[in-house]
Structure 1
Amino acid sequence: MAREDDQESADLARERELEWQQIVENFGERAVLDPEDVAPVEPEPVGFEREDDDEPSAGDQVPLDEEFVPPTPPPLPRPPLDRLLAWCGVFGVPALVLVCIVAGISVPSWFGLLLAAAFVGGFGYLVMKMSDEPRDPWDDGAVL
């Protein structure tokens, strides 16, 4: 709020108030244009058209025998059998339990305990096999 003794801030406040009053008074009114003032707009062509006198450049056509063919990727690495069984326990057991629940299959209690032991054992084995040494702070995990 402007002080009475500060003349510039009082003038500025009055100007702002007048501007807001004009905005509020003109709110909702639309400008009416005469039809003569509006020029018709022709749509521009969307695609690129090449003129007939242009010759194709060397980069436009690539011979088929010179196309890049990527090398075949190496096969996926296979984990050792112990880690593979641990991962199957961690991911396979919940998937099997979910399928049994959705299908409405009830399993014996000893089988449920065996599944729980497989999950906990697989998770514990993977945690046990983790490295205790800290990683290099500049190592982002990328292998080239």
Structure 2
Amino acid sequence: MQPDHHDDEAEDQAWRAIVENYGERPELDDPPPVAPPDPATPASAAPFGGRFGDPRAFSPEPEELSAEEEGFVPPPPPPLPRVEPDRMLAWIGVFGAPAVLLCALVFAIGIPSWLGYLLVTGFVGGFIYLVVKMPREPRDPGDDGAQV
């Protein structure tokens, strides 16, 4: 049995009517008038060829950004924390030993085997020392890690 072509057209018309009459149609006011472009400056002379407009029109003037006029002076930064000598030695082993080995490899510098073993031991030992000395509890016990 072949589908009736008349039924398909009626169904398509019913769907079109539903789509055309769906929802309320908003009442639009007349659109605001568009200002004609200024004939004094050709589009090619404007920044970006006139395609994006003048970016200076959207950025504030430099004098508006001046902090000296308002008298704002930021407070001095806090001093850097002091690193204990044992941790500093561990950090030097973690970062310094691979740097020395990498430089020796790149510049084809031959190093004695005992120095190579010492550098590898310094890297592994420094890493293990830093992991062992890591704090087990959070800095702020009431902090769950979420930040806004």
- The bucket for the TM-score relative to the shorter chain is 0.5 to 0.7
CA deviations over 1:96-117 (Å, ceiling 9, x no partner): 1111112111100000000010
Quote the Cα distance in structure 1 between the aligned partners of 2:65 and 2:120.
62
Distance 1:101 1:12 in 2: 75
Partner of 1:4: 3
Q: Which residue of 2 aligns with 1:103?
A: 107
* Residue identity matched to 2:3: E
Which structure exhibits the higher relative contact order, with contacts defined as CA atoms closer than 8 Å and separated by 6 or more residues?
Answer: 1
Cα RMSD for the two superposed structures? 4.1
Distance 1:97 1:127 in 2: 22
Pick closer, same or farther for the CA change 1:9–1:78 going to 2, 3 Å.
farther
Per the TM alignment, residue 132 of structure 1 is displaced from its structure 2 partner at its CA by 3.1
Q: 1:100 to 1:137 in 2, by over 3 A?
A: farther
Shift of the alpha carbon at 1:63?
Answer: 9.4
1:87-98 → structure 2 map (5 Å cutoff): 87-98=91-102
Query: Quick check: 60-69 or 106-115, which moved more?
Result: 60-69
* Residues 54-107 of structure 1: per-residue CA shift (max 9 Å, x gap): xxxxx9698957421112212211211111111111111111111111211110
Aligned length: 104
1:140 partnered with 2:135: no
Q: Which residue of 1 aligns with 2:86?
A: 82
List runs of 5+ in structure 2 lacking aligned partners: 17-35, 42-52, 58-62
Residue identity (%): 46
CA distance in 2, matches of 1:65, 1:74: 26
Q: 2:123 aligns with which of 116, 119, 124?
A: 119
Any stretches of 5+ residues in structure 1 without a counterpart?
A: 17-40, 49-58
- Name 2:74's counterpart in structure 1: 70
1:79 partner SS: coil
TM-score normalised according to structure 2 size: 0.53
